[in-house]
């Protein structure tokens, strides 16, 4: 093999390694971003009774590549781990808008579908579910704060 051929071969090897390592680095970067995005996102809001003796918690969990899966629960359990139990928790599934308002020891929930009332939810805060059609719920987006409502979302 001539000296010129050895130099060309060396250049090809260096270029090949550079391309290989560059593509590998780019793939690693994007795969890590995808993995981070697929981790569940959670949020928790504490609702306290008027006398401060007890609390309930509105918890939201969303997951999926685009965050297109969601569950919201109203629970007496303050634990951050997301254990859903239909005998103790109000459960709202799907990408639904979720508005709420506390008035003393009453928590009003505005959603497109009511949750079944859990048989073992024994708290001093009364949950009042108000079912709205989609158009009514979309109207709340414009002025929910003016009406004293809060929205839970990621």
Span 45-93, pLDDT tens digits: 999 998 888 899 999 998 887 667 889 999 999 887 778 888 999 999 9
Confidence class of residue 124 from pLDDT cuts 50, 70 and 90? Answer: confident
Q: Check residue 37 and give its pLDDT.
A: 56
- CB atoms inside a 10 Å sphere around CB 130: 13
| Higher-pLDDT residue of 77, 95 | 77
- Domain locations in the chain as residue ranges: 1-37, 41-151
Over its C-alpha atoms, the chain yields an Rg (Å, rounded) of 26
Q: What is the pLDDT of residue 26?
A: 73
- pLDDT level of residue 115 (50, 70, 90 thresholds): very high
The gap from C-alpha 10 to its chain's centroid, in whole angstroms, comes to: 52
From first CA to last CA, the distance across the chain in angstroms is 64
For 17, phi then psi, to 5°, come to -65, -40
Q: Which residues pair with 100 in a beta bridge?
A: 109, 150
Return the percentage of the chain with pLDDT > 90, whole number: 41
pLDDT at 105 over 70: yes
Give the three-class secondary structure for 71: strand
Is the distance from CB of 44 to CB of 72 less than 8 angstroms? no
* The predicted structure's pLDDT at residue 69: 86
What is the per-residue pLDDT across 17-52, written as a single tens digit (0 to 9) for each?
787 777 777 766 666 655 555 677 888 999 999 888
């Amino acid at each position: 093999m001539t000296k010129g051929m050895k130099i060309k071969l060396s250049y090809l090897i260096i270029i090949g390694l550079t391309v290989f390592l560059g593509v590998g680095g780019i793939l690693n970067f994007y795969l890590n971003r995808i993995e981070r995005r697929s981790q569940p996102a959670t949020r928790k809001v504490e609702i306290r009774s008027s006398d401060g003796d007890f609390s309930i918690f509105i918890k939201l969990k969303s997951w999926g590549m685009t965050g297109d899966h969601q569950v919201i629960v109203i629970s007496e359990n303050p634990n951050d781990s997301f254990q859903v139990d239909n005998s103790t928790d109000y459960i709202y599934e799907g990408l639904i808008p979720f508005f709420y308002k506390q008035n003393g020891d009453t928590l009003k929930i505005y959603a497109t579908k009511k949750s079944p009332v859990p048989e073992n939810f024994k708290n001093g805060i009364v949950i009042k579910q108000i079912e709205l059609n989609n158009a009514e719920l979309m109207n709340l987006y414009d002025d929910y704060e003016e009406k004293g409502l809060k929205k839970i979302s990621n």
